[in-house]
Each structure stands twice: as C-alpha cells, then as structure tokens.
Structure 1
C-alpha cells in the first residue's frame, strides 16, 4: 500500500508522459464517486493555498442531499462554522458531477441558488447554478479526496483534502502523504 501511495504521489501531476501503461491503468481506477456520492458528511481537512477568508472558519463540511441518476448529479450542502465561536452556520447547496478526462477525472461543482419560481420554466423549489468550477481530481479513495483548487488563467492554486473522517481524527496517513506531495 505504501509503495502504491508513493507511485500515485509521484505521478499526480498534470503530465502523464513517461508513465508505464500498468500504472496508467491503476490510476484510471481513482473514483471520486466514493466520496462525492457518500451519504456521510465530508470534511475539508486542509488547503494548501493561502487564503485569509479560510482562516475565519472553524469547520467546513458537506452533507449529502440526494442523487439524480438521470443527470448523474449529486446534490450536497457546503456548510461552514466560524472561528469566533458563533453558533451561526452558513450553507449553500452544490451540485457535483464527475467528468472523465484522459488521465484523471474532473469534478464539476455548481453553486446553486433557489429560483423561487421567478423563472418562467422553473418551479418554486428548483435550483439554478450561479457559478461553476472544474476541479481536477488528484487522488480519490473511500476515505479521502484530493482536488486541485481552481486557479486563474490556468495557474495552479494549490489543492484541498476532503475526508469522511470527522475532525480531529482526519484522513489516513496515506492521504496526508499524497496531499503534501502535491
């Protein structure tokens, strides 16, 4: 297992040139659905990008809402609690889809808002995407998900580590190792 983790970490970059075919076949099996479509809460464990906004939050997590098999879309919440001890919780709904790309999958994230029936073709409870992001999947298994953060003009903006393990336990050591190799 440790050797597999090291191989994945070394090859987790954007280029797949020079990677043996056997390893490519193994990497294709990375399945973000194991976390994305999990009915358990998923917690943001760590982010590499410097962001003052993130320092305001005590906990960022996502709870499962539903799965639409026709659209192959998972609906979850994205919630946060503040560092100042406030009991106020902020939340928004998100949609998640997985797009297969030649080397690794991409997670399509839509931030959703209620239409309140104000659009002629929408009902009062329908949600509309007001922003969409494409996050490259660097690693995925049943207990952790490492995503590339959206950057500006194709630049890398670090990555984020999501886990099903409730804080303070956090993700397995293998996931942490891969995260720090990014």
Structure 2
C-alpha cells in the first residue's frame, strides 16, 4: 500500500521519520526533492504575501462598507501573513532555499488485515506529529514506481518546504539490507 504525506505540521520533530520506520515491517520511503531557484522562490513568496495582504484589505473594505470600522482582522489571516513574512525572511536573510517535496511510503504485509493494521499504525504515528498521510486510491502502481529507486516520479503531490524543514525528513539512522 502506498501512502504519501499530505499535510505537514508547522514544526516537525526529527524523530518522526525514526518512529515511522521503527515499524518492524517491510517499508520503503522515498523523498523526491525539486529545488527552486532563489529568485523564483522569492518572487513566489512575495506574490503569495501580496495575495494574503490583498485578502486582508478586501476583508477590511467589506467591514468598512458595513459600518464596522473597529473590526480586527481574523486570526487566520494574520497568521497567514505572519507565516508568509517568516518564509520570505527565511529565503532572503537566513540563506534558506525553497524546495518542492513529495514524501511517499510503501509498506507490504502478508495479509489484508495486517496491511490495514500497519497502515493504521503509520497514520497514528503521523497524526501524533500533527501530520496527515493520504492513501493513494487509484494510483498504487504509480506510487510504487515513485518510491522505487529509479528516479521516476509519477505522483505530483508537491509541498513547499524550506531547506531547514526538509532536513527533518532525512533519517540519521540507516539499516543496510
């Protein structure tokens, strides 16, 4: 069964990958990374920040048209603006790079029941770290081809990460076969 990391927490501990791979089953993990040139990354971050600021301005304009002049901006909009400023700051002053990443897992089992139990164990471990796995429904073969070390990427579920946040997924403990 092929799983992919759908939702990432804002902060992930580096022990997450170790906990996921501690499952005593056949498991393959693949991290596909596509680096983005810094100038494109900064331009993209600035455009996203501009979009968030436009949303805030439109919200304030709607509040003013309803004669609500003292309304405070909703928390989620403020949070988006803060996160985008931090991301842009990471790119420009902290020497971070923007990466697109796809993280996929394949695990096998001897029976369907064991496969379901192992899948639930992986999903529970991810939820414990505020991440969410997705099961590829009709793309199992494409997912398997993505995980195999051929260099072929058939699944396009990219997430935007910085160098620092991507480094969390690099395992420090390796087991040779």
Of the two structures, which has the highest relative contact order with CA contacts closer than 8 Å and spacing of 6 or more? 2
Structure number with larger C-alpha Rg = 2
More strand by share: 1
Calculate the TM-score normalised by the size of structure 1.
0.23
Higher helix share: 2
TM-score of the pair, normalised by structure 2: 0.24
